[in-house]
Amino acid sequence: MRTSSSSTRAASLASKAEAAYLGLAIGDALGATVEFMTPREIRAQFKLHRDLTGGGWLKLKAGQVTDDTTMTLALGEAILARGGRVEALACAQAFDAWMRAKPIDIGNTVRRNLIAFRKSGVPEAPPSEHDAGNGAAMRVLPVALATFGQSEAAVRMAVLAQAHVTHHNADSDAACLLLTRLVQDALAGASLRELYRQHIRPFVAAYPQFAYRPRRRENPSGWVVETLQAVLQALLDTGSFEECLIDVVNRGGDADTTGAIAGMLAGALYGLEAIPRRWLKALDPTIRAACRRQAHALLPA
Ligand code: MN
Ligand code: MN
């Protein structure tokens, strides 16, 4: 029998998982407007970019998301279809079907390795020191939810199985594992300080290429190292969901992806109540519903 405190804990966990999913989509939609712009260009056009207005180089509708969110949702469906298990082949088939449906946007490494999968049927990309883009890191969320509470070894295996379909690279792996741990501990109730002490500080000590101080990271590229530098700075230097997302997307560069990753982390950390109403209302309603549904369905019962 469930005690009332364990059901309260389960409710808070589910609501934070939902916030992480909605945060990912909101950050993607917010950042896409200014993707590939410099901070100076953003300032000239918006002063401060802070609303889901659409536009950008993809000419999006207000509240529309890009590949970061749609690929994450495709992965989530594949995991749910396998009863919560993360299997490389199922992930590769889901990404392949996603690519066939002609997404508005797709990363080069993702496309190249999915085309290779079509030919070979092998769901694991060959290791490559060049495939250090942020395309696997941007979609860790469904795995973080599906493996919540599992052993470290099991989590690691699942994280790498999905990542290696398109990005088989040490920096990408390190980033995917860190992001998964941050999401899982934030869902379990860790504070930002605790996330820093237990995960972020030791991570940068082990992988000094990710060091994000002292220089402010602007124009972060699609290289997962620069992406994480911008995201970690924005997360650690702000104290709310809204501030964190506005900070990270106004740095420009790969802003939809930094927005998506920061939104996922800030959602898991600050919870549903912290998400501004205007952003929730503006988000594409089909995407909003899919995020909510997957968040609840993916968490272990
Ligand atoms: Mn994108
Ligand atoms: Mn992007």
pLDDT digits (tens, 9 = 90+) for 204-216: 999 999 999 999 9
Between the CA of 218 and the centroid of ligand 2 the distance, in Å, is 15
Between the CA of 36 and the centroid of ligand 2 the distance, in Å, is 8
Between the CA of 205 and the centroid of ligand 2 the distance, in Å, is 27
**Which ligand lies nearest to the CA atom of residue 69 in the structure?**
1
Amino acid 4: pLDDT? 65
Between the CA of 143 and the centroid of ligand 1 the distance, in Å, is 19
The Cα 256–Cα 10 span in angstroms is 31
Which residue(s) pair with 223 in the sheet?
A: 133
What is the arithmetic mean of pLDDT over 113-131? 98
Residue 8 — pLDDT band, cuts 50, 70, 90?
confident
Between the CA of 35 and the centroid of ligand 2 the distance, in Å, is 7
Helices and strands (H and E) in the chain: how many = 15, 0
In the block, tokens 């029998």 appear at 1
The Cα 251–Cα 219 span in angstroms is 6
Between the CA of 28 and the centroid of ligand 2 the distance, in Å, is 8
Report the percent of the chain where pLDDT is more than 90. Answer: 96
pLDDT digits (tens, 9 = 90+) for 140-177: 999 999 999 999 999 999 999 999 999 999 999 999 99
